[in-house]
């Protein structure tokens, strides 16, 4: 949903102290309506719906057709599952798809990126703004969540200059934009990577080594493909090749197979002697990644790691 661009001349949110939800909403709307002025006010003349404006996080109404998106009234707007919206969630629901198109996300990926960003980025902001996020979820690092970090950009309490809040909001906006657009770029990139990884899985057949043309997110695509037979991924880097283990699941660092224990922490000549591979350069002490000078050396190291893991499994029987 979007209102006619030519008609929108004002983007209106409340004045005074700001929170992450209207700041992030402003990221979306200023991208879609760059010609519009951003107005921060609580005056009735500004927060009353009109054809030339979009009003958000103020006004105590939620009426998308009239261009007003507030969530502070009772009852407040709820998602289909009963969880509360903040103004960010309301703006994302109405304008998120248009925003993704403005960022040149391919049409075929719009729905997946929209849903993924809503679930992983927008919903937590909604819940925190409404006090509906279980403190046990946020834990001891709650102070490092994006909403809290963005709100640290507000002026200090004793800065009484008339323009302090508006100037802080304006300074925070490009920072918030950087977080939003980086998150979306990452999600869109994962969609592109998934296509490449799925193609590589088909080419790999039953090999336990997946070769990719470059470094990219691969774990989600491997899980999605059900490629449980894969143990290692190899790919070129700027001047060398990487051999990387594949985690068993997203919530664990355990690997399907570790690199050999006698390689751990070694590099260059020591690793070459331990592995018998002249091009071996480095193996992390955690045994989840190694580096080789070239493709042949990387594939050889991966093959040796598979043999070592098979031997350990056989000895455990």
- Going by pLDDT thresholds of 50, 70 and 90, the confidence category of residue 1 is low
CA–CA distances in Å: residue 315 to residues 259, 260, 287: 17, 15, 20
pTM of the model: 0.84
Backbone phi, then psi, for 142, in 5-degree steps?
A: -55, -30
Looking at residues 306-317, what average pLDDT do you find? 89
Alpha carbon distance 103, 106 (integer Å): 9
Looking at residues 105-122, what average pLDDT do you find? 96
Q: At what angle do helices 110-117 and 164-204 cross, to 10 degrees?
A: 130
Alpha carbon distance 272, 262 (integer Å): 11
Is the CB of residue 87 less than 8 Å from the CB of residue 20?
Answer: no
The overall average pLDDT reported for the chain is 93
Is the CB of residue 85 less than 8 Å from the CB of residue 128?
Answer: no
pLDDT given at position 267: 97
- CB neighbours of 9 closer than 8 A, spacing ≥ 6? 35, 36, 37, 52, 53
pLDDT in tens, 152-204: 999 988 888 889 999 999 999 999 999 999 999 999 999 999 999 999 999 99
pLDDT at 263 over 80: yes
Is the CB of residue 246 less than 8 Å from the CB of residue 222?
Answer: yes
What percent of the chain lies above the pLDDT cut of 70?
A: 95
pLDDT in tens, 69-96: 999 999 999 999 999 999 999 999 999 9
- Going by pLDDT thresholds of 50, 70 and 90, the confidence category of residue 144 is low
Kind and range of the H or E run holding 209? strand 209-211
- Going by pLDDT thresholds of 50, 70 and 90, the confidence category of residue 132 is confident
pLDDT given at position 314: 85
Is the CB of residue 200 less than 8 Å from the CB of residue 178?
Answer: no
pLDDT in tens, 18-60: 999 999 999 999 999 999 999 999 999 999 999 999 999 999 9
Is the CB of residue 132 less than 8 Å from the CB of residue 123?
Answer: no
């Amino acid at each position: 949903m979007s209102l006619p661009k030519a008609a929108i001349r004002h983007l209106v949110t409340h004045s005074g102290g700001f929170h992450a939800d209207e700041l992030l909403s402003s990221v979306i709307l200023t991208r879609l309506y760059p010609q519009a002025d951003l107005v921060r006010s609580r005056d009735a003349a500004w927060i009353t719906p009109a054809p030339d404006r979009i009003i958000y996080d103020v006004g105590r109404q939620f009426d998308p057709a009239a261009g007003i998106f507030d969530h502070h009234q009772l009852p407040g707007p709820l998602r289909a599952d009963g969880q509360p919206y903040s103004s960010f969630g309301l703006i994302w629901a109405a304008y998120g798809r248009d925003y993704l198109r403005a960022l040149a996300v391919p049409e075929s990926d719009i729905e997946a990126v929209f849903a993924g960003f809503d679930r992983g980025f927008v919903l937590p902001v909604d819940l925190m703004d409404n006090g509906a996020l279980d403190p046990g979820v946020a834990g001891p690092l709650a102070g490092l969540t994006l909403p809290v970090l963005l709100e640290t950009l507000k002026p200090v309490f004793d800065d009484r200059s008339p323009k302090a809040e508006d100037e802080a909001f304006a300074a925070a906006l490009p920072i918030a934009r950087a977080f939003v657009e980086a998150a979306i770029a990452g999600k869109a990139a994962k969609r592109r990577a998934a296509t490449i990884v799925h193609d590589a899985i088909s080419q790999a057949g039953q090999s336990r080594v997946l070769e990719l043309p470059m470094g990219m997110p691969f774990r989600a695509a491997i899980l999605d493909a059900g490629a449980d037979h894969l143990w290692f991924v190899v790919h070129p880097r700027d001047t060398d090749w990487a051999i990387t283990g594949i985690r068993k699941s997203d919530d664990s660092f355990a690997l399907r197979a570790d690199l050999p224990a006698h390689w751990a922490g070694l590099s260059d000549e020591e690793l070459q002697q331990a592995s018998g591979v002249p091009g071996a350069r480095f193996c992390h002490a955690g045994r989840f990644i190694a580096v080789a000078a070239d493709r042949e050396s990387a594939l050889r190291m991966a093959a040796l790691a598979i043999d070592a893991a098979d031997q350990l499994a056989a000895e455990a029987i």
